[in-house]
Amino acid sequence: MSIDNALASVAVKDIDKAAAWYAQLLGSSGSRPMPEVVEWMFPRGGGLQVYEGAKRAGHCSFTLAVSDLEEVVGKLASLGVPIGDRTANGRVKTAMVKDPDGNSIAIAQASDPSLAR
């Protein structure tokens, strides 16, 4: 089996409310391949699908790789998004946030070049 790429997915209760929140987080409105899904594709590969699924909402997690963690943390703070636990070591720095449904989002900046892809 050969896998070419992967998409993270996250369930939310209300797709329209979540689409607006994620558009602020990600800086664009994404695309709507179907009414219950909003999708973002990222320049260096991979993507995120946010879909309406009330039973799973709040039980998902994913990681967003960024090049400047402090810039993203500042943007999130300006949007009123509480920043949770932060970690840092010689390889990676992270900050945790939650979306309005309680899904966990790790924002990660690689310090080790072997992790940055």
Residue 51, pLDDT above cutoff 70: yes
pLDDT at res. 106: 95
Q: What is the DSSP letter of 88?
A: E
What is the pTM (predicted TM-score) of this model?
A: 0.89
List, in order of start, the domains of the chain with CATH numbers. Answer: 7-110 (3.10.180.10)
Burial class of 103 by CB neighbour count within 10 A (0 to 12, 13 to 18, 19+): buried
Q: What percent of the chain has pLDDT over 70?
A: 97
R_g over Cα of the chain: 14
- What are the pLDDT digits (tens) for 95-108? 999 999 999 999 99
Residue 114, pLDDT above cutoff 80: no
Q: Which of 97, 69, 62, 65 is nearest to 83 (CA)?
A: 97
Quickly count: other Cβ atoms within 10 Å of residue 48's Cβ. Answer: 20
